[in-house]
Amino acid sequence: MARTLEQERQALEEEERRLAERREQLAKREREEAIRTIEKAGLLRLPAPRLEALTKRIKALGIEEVERRLAA
């Protein structure tokens, strides 16, 4: 009986490891997609200091406020 429980525990640990790997891969793909979106918008063509200033301003205002202002 203990062997069966140990096998079940090992199977669960392996499943958790595979799931963690899938989550990591998904996070990488989401990051790559976000970078492609920023690149398509032309923001990666900005000089680094200008892009940094823009991102700091967005962070200071918050995404909702930036969206509100752009929609106005």
Would you state the pLDDT for residue 2?
58
- Do 34 and 15 lie in one domain? The reply is yes
Using 50, 70 and 90 to split pLDDT, how confident is the model at 72? Answer: confident
- Do 5 and 37 lie in one domain? The reply is yes
- Do 5 and 34 lie in one domain? The reply is yes
Residue partners of 61: CB distance under 8 A and separation at least 6: 69
- Do 27 and 52 lie in one domain? The reply is no
Would you state the pLDDT for residue 8?
92
Would you state the pLDDT for residue 1?
53
Q: What is the total count of domains within the chain?
A: 2
Q: What is the pLDDT of residues 33-70, one digit of tens each?
A: 999 999 999 999 999 999 999 999 999 999 999 999 99
Q: How far apart are CA 29 and CA 40, in angstroms?
A: 16
Domain with 60 in it: 46-72
- Do 9 and 33 lie in one domain? The reply is yes
- Do 50 and 71 lie in one domain? The reply is yes
- Do 31 and 62 lie in one domain? The reply is no
Task: Tell me how far CA of residue 2 lies from CA of 9, 25, 33, in angstroms.
Answer: 10, 35, 46
pTM: 0.68
Helix (H) or strand (E) holding 39: helix 2-40
For residues 45 and 37, the answer to whether their CB atoms sit within 8 Å is: no
